[in-house]
Structure 1
Amino acid sequence: MLLNTKDILLTAQKEQYGVAAFNVYSLETLQAVIRVAEAENHPVIIALGERYFDMVDVEGFAALTKVLAGKSTVPIALHLDHAYQKESIIRAIDCGFTSVMYDGSKYDLEKNISYTKEIVKIAHMAGVSVEAEIGSVARGAFSDEEDGDGTLTDPQDAKKFVEETGVDFLAAAIGTVHGMYTGEPNINLALLEEIQQSVSIPLVLHGGSGTPEHVMKQAVEKGICKVNVNTEVSMATTSYLKQVLKEEETMHLSDVMAGMQQAIEPVIAKFIQVLKK
């Protein structure tokens, strides 16, 4: 069933569990996420980043996701991840995304508040929830995200930002990275606790890939309701393709696609299981 992302996260916040938001970019990744969510009987968020708009037909993707979500037995949301352009956000709203993320983290606080406030007004008129970000998540290895400077979220800035923009959930920068860590993760859970005490809305952790499982569990205990996952799924997919094409000189595309979906399902299951209560 397709639900508003805010409704899914408010339930997660109340019952103290996390929901994984998987970036998908193909039929196989979409089917794998939904199949595992049903097997685990746990909600999931299907995410599509603005950076994939050139390779994925947004309207077609939304239509496909809504059909599959409608057949599903678990709550599923459709989320626009890391959007920088108002036009992209309006396009996603028009074709049925249930939430959008406006990323104004590159701006100073006042500009971020001003731009985010405008997006919130537009989205809320359509019944769509909004995620935003304060601070900046740095880019690790194997990531296709833009490079952030790694500035951590200031709890008082978070309080001001939420009060003035009316966002529905907030991405908190606490030391995770987009992609895989190149050294020992340095994740500030004490800071997360301060942020949780400063705001009442659900919090989001970007950079789930490579983050130690015990850290994710502790993060959920301290207010994280949504964890973004992309790179680990991508790496599992490309590893499978490298191996199968090395072993098989000729292989039908349908078999490759089926095998690819099976290869990523354990990665998806790992995150869902870690975030379940």
Structure 2
Amino acid sequence: MLVNTKEILSAAQNGKYGIAAFNVFNLETVQAAITVAKKENHPVIIALGERYFDTVDVEGFAALVKTLAGKSSVPVSLHLDHAYEKESIIRAIRCGFTSVMYDGSKYELAENIRLTKEITEIAHMAGVSVEAEIGSVARGAFSDEEEGDGTLTDPKSAKEFVEETDVDFLAASIGTVHGMYTGKPNIDLDLLEEIRQLVGIPLVLHGGSGTPDGIIKQAVARGICKVNVNTEVSLAATSYLNQAFEQEQKAAHLSAIMAGMQEAMESVMTKFVRLLKN
């Protein structure tokens, strides 16, 4: 069933567990995420980044996800990830996304508040929930996200931001990176605890890929309800494709290769879902 992301995250917050938000790029990634959700009997968030609008037909993609979600007894939501343009957000709302992320983190606090508040008012009129970001997640290896400066979230600014914008969940920068870490992760769980004390809405962790399992579990215990995963899923798919090529499966039918790629992604997704549900 397709549900509002706020519904999924509110339940996660009350139950003190986490939900994986998997970035998807094609049919196989969507099928992998929903298949794992059904097998593990745990909700999932299907996330499409604004940066993929050039290669993914948004309206067709939304129709696909809504159809597959409608066949699932497990809650599934459809989320627009890292959107910077109001036009992209309106387009996603019109074709049925159940939540959107407006990323104004590059702006000073006052401007971020002003722009995010405008988006929240638009989305809420349509019954769509909103995620926003304070601070800036740095870019690691193998990521295709925009470069961030790694500025950590200030708890008092986060409190002001949430009160002024009325967002539904907040991405907090505590030291994770988009992509894979190039050194030892330096994640500030004490900072997360401070943010949790001042902010009552569900918190989001961007940069789940490569983050140690123990850190993710501790983050969930301190208020993280949504963990974004992109790069590990992508690497599992490309690794499988590379191996298929090296094993001289050049003559294999495309359908067989795509099925194998989906299974490789399901393995990574299963790891995250099990980690977050326990």
Normalising by the smaller structure, the TM-score range is over 0.9
| Corresponding position of 2:88 | 88
Q: What is the DSSP-based 3-state SS (H/G/I as helix, E as strand, rest coil) of the residue aligned with 1:101?
A: strand
User: RMSD in angstroms over aligned alpha carbons?
Assistant: 0.4
Distance 2:112 2:85 in 1: 13
Separation in structure 2 between the aligned mates of residue 89 and residue 196 of structure 1, nearest angstrom: 27
What aligned pairs does 1:1-277 form with structure 2 within 5 A after superposition? Answer: 1-247=1-247, 248-277=249-278
Deviations 1:222-263 (A, max 9, x none): 000000000000000000000001112311101111111011
Partners of 1:258 and 1:153 in 2: CA distance = 41
Deviations 1:176-231 (CA, angstroms, capped at 9, x unpaired): 00000000000000000000001100000000000000100000000000000000
Distance 1:241 1:267 in 2: 15
Counterpart of 2:218 in structure 1: which amino acid? Answer: Q
Give CA deviations for 1:46-86 in whole Å, capped at 9, x if unaligned: 00000000000000000000000000010000000000000
Amino acid at match of 1:37: A
- CA distance, structure 1, for counterparts of residue 45 and residue 180 of structure 2: 21
1:252 maps to amino acid? H
Q: Say which SS state the counterpart of residue 82 (structure 1) adopts.
A: strand
Q: Which moved more, 1:239-248 or 1:185-194?
A: 239-248
Q: Distance in 2 between matches of 1:274 and 1:137?
A: 22
- The whole-number CA distance in structure 2 between the counterparts of 1:54 and 1:16 is 37
Amino acid of the structure 1 residue aligned with 2:103: D
Structure 1 residue runs without a partner (length 5+): none
Q: Distance in 2 between matches of 1:35 and 1:45?
A: 12
Q: Equivalents in 2 of 1:121, 1:157: separation in Å?
A: 20
Mapped partners of 2:264, 2:104: distance in 1 = 35
> How many pairs are equivalent?
277
| Runs of 4 or more above 3 Å deviation | none
Structure 2 distance, partners of 1:148, 1:181, is 14
